Chain A
Amino acid sequence: DIVMTQSPDSLSVSLGERATINCKSSQSVLSSSNNENYLAWYQQKPGQPPKLLIYWASTRESGVPDRFSGSGSGTDFTLTINSLQAEDVAVYYCQQYFITPPITFGPGTKVDIK
């Protein structure tokens, strides 16, 4: 199974500043056949279900603000939130879909306002 880890566990960021969340997979999730990274990011606000933000490591889901961006390849990935807004307070999860089953998630990173 591919194990996903995230860092930090939590971070506090001032409004308008940048938040950076890291995700690491225990083996590469980059496909040699299509050169795609099988990695998604989700946002979960308190009391709500998760919401898809990014797939293929860097493709933003329709309707997601462009302050959210994903990067990375192979085993190391980053979710960046530029100019943090109050509504971005949430827990963020990465998920790999390269080798399934099982589908595996990272443990989550909690983002709040400093």
Chain B
Amino acid sequence: EVQLVESGGGLIQPGGSLRLSCAASGFTVSSNYMSWVRQAPGKGLEWVSIIYTAGSTYYADSVKGRFTISRDTSKNTLYLQMNSLRAEDTAVYYCARVWGDAAKYFNYWGRGTLVTVSS
């Protein structure tokens, strides 16, 4: 059974850093495209970042230069390093498995972890 479990969220001051983790089971993270999607309180879904099987990474303009997506093959875990955090980064962050290169829709989602950026 495919499972994605996010962790690492919490309350952080503006300008601070946080690393989110997404532990996967039932499949191999490095063999799949993986992504982070966030949802600000009461708002819609916003794609944040994606990592391809070959290791290429892409980011939304809103986080480019501040966030870094990565994975650890030995731990079968996806990460999102978030630096220079802003109030507008406050959101529930979901990790999601992408179906594949030919079709970048999300067929599995974690339950999310809440990041609150506030002083």
- Residues of A with Cβ closer than 8 Å to B? 38, 40, 42, 44, 48-52, 55-56, 61, 91, 93, 95, 97, 100-108
Task: Closest A residue to B105 by CB, please name it.
Answer: A40
Between-chain CB contacts (< 8 Å), 22 pairs: A38-B103, A40-B106, A44-B45, A49-B112, A51-B109, A55-B99, A55-B105, A91-B44, A93-B45, A95-B106, A97-B105, A100-B50, A100-B104, A101-B47, A101-B50, A101-B60, A102-B61, A103-B35, A103-B50, A103-B104, A105-B47, A106-B44
Cα-based distance from A44 to B110 in the complex (angstroms): 13
- Residues of B with Cβ closer than 8 Å to A? 35, 37, 44-47, 50, 58-61, 94, 99, 103-107, 109-112
Task: Closest B residue to A91 by CB, please name it.
Answer: B44
Partner of A102, one of B60, B99, B106, B110: B60
Asked if B44 contacts A52 (CB within 8 A), the reply is no
Task: Closest A residue to B111 by CB, please name it.
Answer: A49
Cα-based distance from A51 to B37 in the complex (angstroms): 13
Task: Closest A residue to B35 by CB, please name it.
Answer: A103
Asked if A52 contacts B112 (CB within 8 A), the reply is no
* A7 → chain B closest CB, angstroms: 14
Which of A42, A55, A102 has most chain B Cβ within 10 Å? Answer: A102
